[in-house]
Structure 1
Amino acid sequence: MSVTPSVNNLAVSTDDRTLRVFFENYGNVEDAVVIKDPKTRLSRGFGFVTFSSDEEAEIAVTNTNEKE
C-alpha cells in the first residue's frame, strides 16, 4: 500500500525531480510533488512524496526528520 508523507521546509529552488532523487535513497518513490506558488512557480516550501510501502516511508521520515 502506498504512503504519502508530507515534506516541509523545502528551499524555494526545490523542484519535483530534486525531491524525488533525494528520497529515492530511502525507498521506491512512486511520486514526488513540490507545491508551487502559481504566480512565481517557485516552491511554497512543502511537498509530498509517495512511497511504495509503509516501511519505506518510515525509513525516510526517520532518517530525514529535522534535517536540512
Structure 2
Amino acid sequence: MLDEDEIANRLLAQEPGEFHFPELYGKGWNRLSIGDKVKIGREFLNAVRKGRFPGVEDTGRKKGGGRVYVKRG
C-alpha cells in the first residue's frame, strides 16, 4: 500500500524536474515483487491524477521502462 504521507515528505526534498516513481520510492523498491511494484505505482499515478501531491504531474510519457512524472517548482 502506498504511504502518501511518506511520499509527500520525500517530494519536499525532491528537486523540481522529471523523475520516475522508483527514484522517489527509494531503496526498498527493488525488494518489492513485480505485483507490488505495479500496485504501488498505480496507486501513485492515481493519487497524482487526483491532485494529492500538489505540483506533481503525470507527463503521459514513458521512458526507460517507466512512467515519467514532473515536479513543478
Asked if TM exceeds 0.5, the reply is: no
TM-score, normalised by the number of residues in structure 2: 0.32
Structure with the higher fraction of residues in strand conformation: 1
TM-score, normalised by the number of residues in structure 1: 0.33
